[in-house]
Copies of this chain bind each other. A is one copy, B any other.
Amino acid sequence: MEMFYNFNQVEFKEKREHVGIKSITGEKAQLCVIRLEPGEATDHRHPEEQIGLVLAGRVEIFAGEETRELGPNEGYCIPGGIRHGFRALDGAPVEYIEVFCPPKRENVT
């Protein structure tokens, strides 16, 4: 199993339109860098726990009944099963860390 990764040398993979992803998938957890373009709003739920941290840009996040605007160095922890969504703010892309536990197969890059 490869232990080292260089995200400078890989392009974002299109997870779906307006959503790019780079990821490191372990046996137990998965660390992703997500690039969300403006105009896209995600809205879903999944059984995996999701923890994250904004790296650049600003994003509106709703989780359950709560909505917040987060910028760089702000983070979140969404328990499995909670409906949640992300939307880039300020007409600019936002990049953030997403950690999934257990890993999501669709996020393997």
Chain A residues at the B interface, C-beta cutoff of 8 Å: 1-8, 24-31, 33, 49, 51-53, 55, 61, 63-64, 66, 68, 70, 72-80, 97, 99, 101-102
Determine if B51 and A27 form an interchain contact, defined as CB atoms under 8 angstroms apart: no
A11 to B55: give the CA distance in the assembly, Å: 18
Asked whether B74 lies within 8 Å of A6 as measured between CB atoms, the reply is yes
Counted per complex, copies of this chain come to: 2
**Which residues of B are found within 8 Å of A26, using beta-carbon distances?**
49, 51, 77, 79, 101
With contacts A29-B99, A101-B101 taken as known, whether A3 is within 8 angstroms of B53 at the C-beta atoms is: no
Question: Which residues from B are CB-within-8-Å of A6?
Answer: 73-75
A contact patch SS:
strand
Closest to A82 in B: B3
A73 touching B8 in the complex, CB below 8 Å, given contacts A3-B78, A53-B97? yes
Q: How far is the CA of A99 from the CA of B63 in the complex (A)?
A: 21
Q: Which residues of B contact A77 (CB under 8 A)?
A: 1-3, 5, 24-26, 31
